[in-house]
A = this chain, B = another copy of it.
Amino acid sequence: MAAVAVATRWWLLLMLSAAELGVAPAPQPPNILLLLMDDMGWGDLGVYGEPSRETPNLDQMAAQGMLFPNFYTANPLCSPSYTPQEIVGGIPDSELLLPALLKGAGYASKIVGKWHLGHRPQFHPLKHGFDEWFGSPNCHFGPYDNKARPNIPVYRDQEMVGRFYEEFPINLKTGEANLTQIYLQEALEFIQRQQAAHRPFFLYWAVDATHAPVYASKPFLGTSQRGRYGDAIRELDDSVGRILRLLRDLGIAENTFVFFTSDNGAALISAPRQGGSNGPFLCGKQTTFEGGMREPAIAWWPGHIPAGQVSHQLGSIMDLFTTSLSLAGLEPPRDRAIDGLDLLPAMLQGHLTDRPIFYYRGNTLMAVTLGLYKAHFWTWTNSWEEFKQGIDFCPGQNVSGVTTHSQEEHTKLPLIFHLGRDPGERFPLSIASIEYLDALRRITPVVQQHQEALVPGQPQLNVCNRAVMNWAPPGCEKLGKCLTPPESVPEKCSWPH
């Protein structure tokens, strides 16, 4: 098993060092389009039961493609959104990202939206395999005063083109921002350009309108039954519809693999005005209950993936790495363990592979799902201290002994749930039941093997320094937007959840 990294985006994009690769590109590999939402929950799509049913384009994408109701992220939060600009570290050079590998099969690669693998220049997308970038290195928090803390820059490729709340305004009062429209245009333009050049492309569309502070452009504001969060969803849904329509119009739909998912469960702490829905599942972002890590997921590839299907394959966002390589006719590197599964057999032949899903929080293995059984080795929502301050990751939900506010150990006798009968994790199996013992007997060796094979990752995010913040990003001189950094004072830092 490869290192247990801390961030969803890391899992999605990296996990390879620049070693020799078994490269064997196919003649005309399909384009690959990953649509990664930010803090969108499993229950936010009509096709997943959202009562307002305001995602006609995504619902249609599912009707034309394959729905994965049991698809998971690798971590219940995108840690960078909780690690501020003081962070010194970022993606190490020893890791080789998906776009770098896809170059071996002739792909042009672009990231649109949030990067979050390090905001200092050496960590930027173009240093790690992407050909193009439009977006930000950090979350769109703010506005900041540019004194104690600079506003987050927006980049085109290697240079900044402005800052959030300045050249790229976000009106926190009205929720108005044109960012999704800008990200959409970047995507459409890139697709058209690559198509004209007859070049296969990899587009990573990492938009963040559903991450608090949620935003939408004027035509979408006030249009949702769900308030501003729903306005953001509607604009993203509309954008996905436009992207898929362009693929059809250009005649490349049958040669473009599109996958839609999200980076972690809905942030219930921001609900209902700034957070989404995890449907019938327990809790949300930050937790290792289903609401924190089960994601909406749709695969779309007309003419290849059969229309209107549902796959009960347990899937992971890490699989998108492996699956993308497989699509490109590339083999994963052999110099390290790879956790991702190639989902093409599930997508193309309806094949199901028995595999576990691991739920981590920091370095702690909190839970595992195998088949329909989920075992919790640790339970924890957040601390009593936080909870008493009104920070609630499970509003309205309270399962005695399960949604605990202290870190409860169950490593000897895990809490086991049957996710088919009890997707909401409300009714732990009796430890005296035969069903419990059978489930535990199957789970135990899988966890043992995982723990024995695990290669711990190197922490990258535990040194801070206010001097490394986005004071003077590349390109700031041309814009006259350079700020003066404070004195360099490196210090150890850590992040609670």
Docked complex Cα distance between A425 and B272 (Å): 10
A165 near B: Cβ within 8 Å? no
C-alpha gap A183/B212 in the complex (Å): 52
B residues near A282, Cβ cutoff 8 Å = 396
Report the minimum CB–CB distance from A298 to chain B (whole Å). Answer: 13
CB pair A272–B418 under 8 Å, yes or no, is yes
Stretch at the interface among A104-112, A225-233, A467-475: A225-233
**A136 part of interface (Cβ distance < 8 Å):** no
A463 vs chain B, min Cβ distance (A) = 39
A3 within 8 A of partner (CB): no
B229, A53: Cβ atoms closer than 8 Å: no
Residue of B47, B50, B53, B426 near A395 (CB, 8 A) is B426
The yes or no answer to A450 lying at the interface (CB within 8 A) is no
Secondary structure call for the A interface = loop
Residue among B48, B272, B312, B398 making CB contact with A396, cutoff 8 Å: B398
Q: For residue A49, which residues in chain B have a CB less than 8 angstroms away from its CB?
A: 43, 47-50, 279-280
Give the residues in chain B near A352, CB-CB below 8 Å: none
Interface pair B224/A420, CB less than 8 Å apart: yes
B396 A51 Cβ-Cβ under 8 A:
no
- Is A210 positioned at the interface, with any CB of B under 8 Å from its CB? no
Q: Looking at the assembled complex, report how far the CB atom of A178 sits from the nearest CB atom of chain B, in whole angstroms.
A: 23
- On chain B, the residues within 8 Å of A51 by CB distance are 69-70, 279-280, 419, 423
Write out the residue numbers on chain B whose beta carbons fall within 8 Å of the beta carbon of A67.
53
With contacts A69-B51, A420-B227 known, is A426 near B396, CB below 8 A? yes
Q: How far is the CA of A220 from the CA of B14 in the complex (A)?
A: 45
Contact B422 A272 (CB under 8 A): yes
Q: Please, what's the 1-or-0 string for A350-378, where 1 marks a CB less than 8 Å from any CB in chain B? A: 00000000000000000000001000000
B427 touches A230 (CB 8 A): no
A272 and B426 in contact, given A398-B396, A399-B396 (Cβ under 8 angstroms): yes
The answer to the question of A246 belonging to the interface, with a C-beta cut-off of 8 Å to chain B, is no
Q: Which residue of B lies closest to A282 (CB)?
A: B396
Q: A52 within 8 Å of B by Cβ? A: yes
> A201 vs B271: C-alpha distance in the bound complex, in angstroms?
48
Tell yes or no: A273 within 8 A of B by CB. Answer: yes
Q: Cα distance A273–B420 when bound, in Å? A: 10
- Which residues of A does B touch, CB under 8 Å? 43, 46-53, 63, 67, 69-70, 224-227, 229-230, 271-273, 277, 279-280, 282, 310, 312, 372, 395-399, 418-427
17 additional A-B residue pairs with CB within 8 Å, beyond A51-B419, A52-B420, A396-B398: A43-B49, A43-B280, A46-B310, A49-B49, A49-B50, A51-B70, A51-B423, A63-B63, A227-B421, A230-B421, A271-B426, A272-B427, A277-B280, A277-B424, A280-B280, A395-B426, A396-B397
Among all A-B residue pairs, the 8 with the closest Cβ atoms:
A49-B49, A225-B420, A396-B426, A272-B421, A398-B398, A272-B422, A227-B421, A396-B399
Can you list 12 A-B contacts (CB < 8 A)? A50-B280, A52-B69, A225-B312, A227-B421, A272-B427, A279-B280, A282-B396, A395-B427, A396-B398, A396-B399, A396-B426, A397-B397
